[in-house]
Amino acid sequence: MCPRPYKSGKRQTSAAETRVRILEALRKLLANESSPSELSMEAVAREADISRLTIYYQFKSRSGLLEALYDHLANRGNMRQMSEAFREPNPRTALEKMIRTFVQFWASDPVVIRRLRAMSSLDTEIGDGIRARDFRRVYAANEILRRMNKHPREKTEPQNSSVAEILAMLTSFETYDALSRAGQSNDAITEILLKLAHATIVS
């Protein structure tokens, strides 16, 4: 009857390790080209060498598991570099760093990201979380444009208000994926995006 908090300790650490092991198992299965939609909770549990019910215990549902994977991927890819890009005083350099950061991130695990995003298009639960993260690129681009003074407070010109959205589109996974699947190297993609971004902001 007495509530005992159990703030932290080995148990929490152990549980966190379990979560990572589950997420890594999921990532491994999704990365396997040969198994496209053979993604069952039981398969993930087998791969992680734990019980199927532990997944439900740690991540409420299938959707919860997949949503957690997106943040896990952001930690694996170097998405922390984005804060570095924001600290960059020169806005043009900031834009360049933003482009390079996202190319590197999308390239870190394209197959997994592609499939995860595909599932999010079919499941609103996951979809909302990913769309919110996608919108951060619009915000980041807007911030950079504001610093360039190319984007004053007055939004009279509709041409200008769409620039951030175009930059967000250019730095999207889908843009990277289309060019990557066409055989372009990551460096080549970066160059292409830098040029297109430049053409966008000077127009």
Q: What is the phi-psi region of residue 67: left when phi exceeds 0, alpha when psi lies from -120 to 50, beta otherwise?
A: alpha
If one asks whether residue 2 binds DNA (CB under 7 A), the answer comes out as: yes
89 binds, among a copy of itself, DNA, none (CB under 5 to 8 A by kind): none
Whose tokens are 């407070």? That residue is: 153
Helix, strand or coil for residue 35?
coil
Whose tokens are 């396997």? That residue is: 32
Task: Name the minimum Å distance from CB 33 to DNA.
Answer: 18
179 binds, among a copy of itself, DNA, none (CB under 5 to 8 A by kind): a copy of itself
Burial class (CB in 10 A: 0-12, 13-18, 19+), 152: exposed
Amino acid making up residue 18:
T
CA–CA separation, 172 and 175 (whole Å): 5
47 vs 143, which CB is nearer to DNA? Answer: 47
CA–CA separation, 106 and 174 (whole Å): 9
Task: Name the minimum Å distance from CB 38 to a copy of itself.
Answer: 10
Count of CB atoms within 10 A of residue 90's CB? 11
Q: Which two tokens stand for residue 84?
A: 């570095």
Task: Name the minimum Å distance from CB 61 to DNA.
Answer: 4
If one asks whether residue 70 binds DNA (CB under 7 A), the answer comes out as: no
16 vs 188, which CB is nearer to a copy of itself? Answer: 188
Q: For binding to a copy of itself (CB under 8 A), which residues are involved?
A: 36-37, 114-115, 117-119, 121-124, 127, 138, 158, 162, 165-166, 168-169, 172, 174-175, 177-179, 182-184, 188, 192, 195-196, 199-200, 203
- List residues binding DNA (CB under 7 A): 1-12, 14-15, 17-18, 38-43, 50-51, 53-54, 56-58, 60-63
